[in-house]
């Protein structure tokens, strides 16, 4: 099949490369010239394990362009542009602009537009009214640092289509993973649009739940990690998303729970509104608890270890680590950040630690778990560490003279 992917950020570039790996002819389109030039060179403009290799290996089936007109030679058109959180919910203006543009360049009746972005229910029908081209929804379920794997070997494929033709086209497009036994859920478009929002809201809820329970554990002397492990052995609960700490961030979970909360408020689903607001509030509270663990930071230098929202990526969108650094600064302290991959203040761990009156482990990089506490003790002014990700050997650090504060 000949496919266009409009929007070549994290989702779009990964999606385009994976579709090419599945044997399709793909053109990726984005308005940013620098991004397109990077992709043409066989490199991604962001870090994602395995993506550069995929781009280079499938180069003959991949084209990159800044011109929407280059989509005209394709029959299926994936929308992978952003839907940022706005004052009135998720902002659909970029999607609307792309669809209007496609309406001006696509000829004939054989085209299908397919949404990948996170949107409120009713978006596909709305976009279809703008272009008179059928719009289906095939939500993505990518995890950053696992994007290639999640696209090539998805846990499920959800197809929201108005017609049997659209459903069949998407089943043909995903024939390889379907042939491997990947479950397919065919449904109406509104359900497909809701699936992604509801899935992310559930994951966020699970994280806020274990953080809230972790707060109780701290007060009663229970071990949160052991509790989470024991709970997770119940197959109804599972081990994933049960790690208490600084909370969630990134470009999806925070945005999606707020977007879903706005939708719930619009339709008067007050129980959902209250639940989602509380999930968000618990998450924000974890960041504040990290600051409280440092005590008075006025006039003090604090090493913030990590700026990425999680380990394995250079993505700092809605990063808890960045938020913690900002709160330290607002409280009169001087944060100094180090991250092995994401943008930060200094390029060496030692430089961040030297002269610090406190340390926050804000991203769960293995490098931080492997720090020699005796070595680090010789660099800091005050041996106080807030292990906001639960990665340190508390006993070893205490034996080296550190005060160790955990959030859960």
pLDDT at 114: 98
> What are the distances in angstroms from CA 16 to CA 21, 50, 263?
9, 14, 30
Alpha-carbon gap, residue 138 to 135, rounded angstroms = 10
Alpha-carbon gap, residue 58 to 110, rounded angstroms = 26
CB 229 within 8 A of CB 239: yes
Please indicate, yes or no, whether residues 205 and 307 belong to a single structural domain of this protein.
no
Q: Which of 288, 306, 335 is the last residue of a domain?
A: 288
Please indicate, yes or no, whether residues 102 and 242 belong to a single structural domain of this protein.
no
Please indicate, yes or no, whether residues 278 and 181 belong to a single structural domain of this protein.
no
Look at residue 359 and give its three-state secondary structure: strand
> What are the distances in angstroms from CA 84 to CA 225, 258, 328, 381?
34, 11, 27, 41
Domains: count for the chain: 3
CATH code for the domain in which residue 379 is found: 3.40.50.720
Residue 78 token pair: 């994936």
Q: Is the model more confident about 279 or about 142?
A: 279
The residue from 8, 131, 217, 252 that is catalytic is: 252
Please indicate, yes or no, whether residues 137 and 160 belong to a single structural domain of this protein.
yes
Say if strands 384-387 and 358-361 run parallel, antiparallel, or are unpaired.
parallel
Query: Where does 50-166 show beta strands of DSSP type E?
Result: 62-65, 76-79, 85-86, 89-90, 112-115, 135-137, 157-160
Q: Is 252 a catalytic residue?
A: yes
What is the total residue count of the chain?
408
List, for residues 89-114, the tens digit of each pLDDT value: 889 999 999 999 999 999 888 999 99
Please indicate, yes or no, whether residues 321 and 397 belong to a single structural domain of this protein.
yes
Please indicate, yes or no, whether residues 161 and 202 belong to a single structural domain of this protein.
no
Q: Is the pTM of this model over 0.85?
A: yes
In this predicted structure, the answer to whether residue 33 has a pLDDT above a threshold of 90 is: yes
Domain coverage including residue 147: 1-186
Alpha-carbon gap, residue 4 to 68, rounded angstroms = 9
Residue 84 token pair: 């940022």
In this predicted structure, the answer to whether residue 132 has a pLDDT above a threshold of 90 is: no
Q: In sequence order, what are the beta bridge partners of 341?
A: none
List, for residues 195-250, the tens digit of each pLDDT value: 999 999 999 999 999 999 999 999 999 999 999 999 999 999 999 999 999 999 99
Q: How sure is the predictor about 84, in pLDDT bands with cuts at 50, 70 and 90? A: confident
Please indicate, yes or no, whether residues 294 and 400 belong to a single structural domain of this protein.
yes
List, for residues 238-281, the tens digit of each pLDDT value: 999 999 999 999 989 999 999 999 999 999 999 999 999 999 99
Please indicate, yes or no, whether residues 171 and 312 belong to a single structural domain of this protein.
no
Q: How sure is the predictor about 22, in pLDDT bands with cuts at 50, 70 and 90? A: very high
Please indicate, yes or no, whether residues 73 and 16 belong to a single structural domain of this protein.
yes
| Angle at 13 (CA atoms; ends 12, 15), nearest 5 degrees | 65
């Amino acid at each position: 099949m000949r496919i266009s992917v409009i929007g070549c950020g994290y989702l779009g570039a990964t999606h385009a490369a994976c579709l090419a790996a599945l044997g399709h002819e793909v053109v990726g389109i984005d308005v940013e010239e620098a991004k397109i030039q990077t992709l043409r060179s066989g490199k991604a403009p962001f870090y994602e394990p395995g993506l550069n290799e995929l781009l280079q290996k499938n180069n003959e089936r991949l084209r990159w362009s800044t011109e929407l007109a280059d989509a005209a030679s394709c029959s299926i058109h994936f929308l992978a542009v952003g839907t940022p959180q706005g004052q009135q919910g998720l902002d659909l203006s970029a999607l609307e602009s792309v669809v209007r543009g496609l309406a001006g360049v696509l000829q004939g009746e054989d085209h299908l537009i397919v949404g990948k972005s996170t949107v409120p229910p009713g978006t596909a029908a709305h976009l279809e009214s703008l272009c008179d081209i059928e719009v289906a929804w095939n939500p993505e379920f990518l995890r950053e640092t696992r994007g290639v794997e999640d696209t090539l070997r998805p846990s499920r494929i959800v197809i929201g289509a108005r017609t049997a033709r659209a459903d069949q086209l998407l089943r043909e497009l995903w024939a390889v993973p379907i042939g491997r036994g990947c479950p397919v859920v065919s449904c109406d478009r509104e359900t497909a649009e809701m699936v992604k929002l509801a899935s992310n809201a559930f994951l966020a809820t699970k994280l806020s739940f274990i953080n809230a329970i972790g707060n109780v554990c701290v007060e009663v002397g229970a071990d949160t990690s052991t509790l989470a492990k024991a709970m997770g052995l119940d197959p109804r609960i599972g081990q994933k998303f049960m790690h208490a700490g600084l909370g969630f961030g990134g470009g999806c979970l925070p945005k999606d729970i707020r977007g879903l909360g706005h939708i719930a408020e619009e339709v008067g689903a007050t129980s959902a509104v209250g639940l989602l607001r509380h999930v968000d509030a618990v998450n924000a509270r974890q960041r504040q608890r990290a600051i409280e663990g440092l005590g008075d930071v006025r006039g003090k230098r604090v090493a913030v270890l990590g700026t990425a929202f999680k380990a394995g990526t250079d993505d700092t969108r809605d990063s808890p680590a960045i938020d913690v650094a900002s709160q330290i600064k607002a409280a009169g302290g001087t944060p100094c950040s180090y991250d092995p991959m994401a943008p930060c203040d200094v390029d060496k761990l030692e430089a961040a630690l030297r002269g610090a009156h406190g340390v926050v482990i804000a991203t769960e990089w293995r490098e931080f778990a492997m720090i020699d506490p005796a070595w680090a003790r010789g660099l800091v002014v005050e041996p106080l560490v807030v292990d906001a990700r639960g990665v340190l050997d508390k006993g070893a650090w205490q034996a080296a003279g550190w005060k160790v504060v955990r959030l859960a």
